[in-house]
Structure 1
Amino acid sequence: MTEVSPQIEGTPLIAPSSTDHPLYDAVVEACRTVYDPEIPVNIYDLGLVYTVDINPANEVKVIMTLTAPGCPVAGEMPGWVADAVGPLDGVSNVEVELTWEPAWGMDMMSDEARLELGFM
């Protein structure tokens, strides 16, 4: 029998983003310049960016996933995100973390992405 670790009730699977931070919109726009090479939609609208956490020292932590664990650019895409966010005026540091929980699904895409890919 496999033991399942308990989840604290009410704890979200995806950590909340710092949407009220002044740099948030610029970081999101920077993430929108990064594309999965196999899909003609940016990673933000694909729903691959789960959390944009920005602390008071303007250190940015992006928690993201990929469409599949075997994604051929798995080793490169976090660097692409860091390269897009790092040069933003005011950003002091960027950390990009890959996660597989929760698993990405097509329901995480924005309406724009669904339209672009012909799912609407």
Structure 2
Amino acid sequence: MRKMSENTKITKEMVLEKLKEVIDPEIGIDVVNLGLIYELKINPDNTVYVKMTMTTPGCPLTMWLLQAVEQKILEIPGVKDAEIELTFDPPWTPDRISEEVKKKLGML
């Protein structure tokens, strides 16, 4: 028997909006606009997979950011689990920052 209480369809947009609440404390920009999210998949069983990176391989906040991303995803109604994979391939560059944030930072 299927539970009908969590019948909300989880979308990539929902997940990305939630992840905008995760702010890199050193830079003050969220992980989405910073370009740290490389891949996002919502599986049929309502588990969410995220492949992300850090601005540098030696980032002291790596574990904190990974946990914050996982926590935010798990706050979305209907999400059963979250898998966060860390990658440095390709390495992050400032080119990955969103146009909106580049304008705010005077990078355009």
- The reply to whether TM is greater than 0.5 is yes
Aligned-pair Cα RMSD in Å = 1.2
> Counterpart of 1:116?
104
> Counterpart of 1:92?
80
TM-score (norm 2): 0.87
Give the 3-state SS of the residue equivalent to 2:103 in structure 1.
helix
* Runs of 4+ residues deviating >4 angstroms: none
> Counterpart of 2:6?
none
Give the 3-state SS of the residue equivalent to 1:45 in structure 2.
coil
> Counterpart of 1:37?
25
> Counterpart of 1:27?
15
Q: What is the count of residue pairs matched by the alignment?
A: 100
> Counterpart of 1:77?
65
5+ residue gaps, structure 1: 1-20
Q: Any conservation in 2 of the 1:34–1:43 contact (CA below 8 Å)?
A: yes
2:34 to 46, 49, 65: 46
CA distance in 1, matches of 2:86, 2:101: 21
Answering whether residue 95 of structure 2 is matched by residue 107 of structure 1, we say: yes
Q: Any conservation in 2 of the 1:23–1:90 contact (CA below 8 Å)?
A: no
Q: Any conservation in 1 of the 2:10–2:78 contact (CA below 8 Å)?
A: no
Q: Any conservation in 1 of the 2:10–2:79 contact (CA below 8 Å)?
A: no
**AA aligned opposite 1:64:** M
TM-score (norm 1): 0.79
Structure 1 residue 69: Cα displacement: 0.7
5+ residue gaps, structure 2: 1-8
Structure 1 residue 70: Cα displacement: 1.0
**AA aligned opposite 2:56:** A
- Would you tell me which structure has more strand in proportion to its own residues? 2
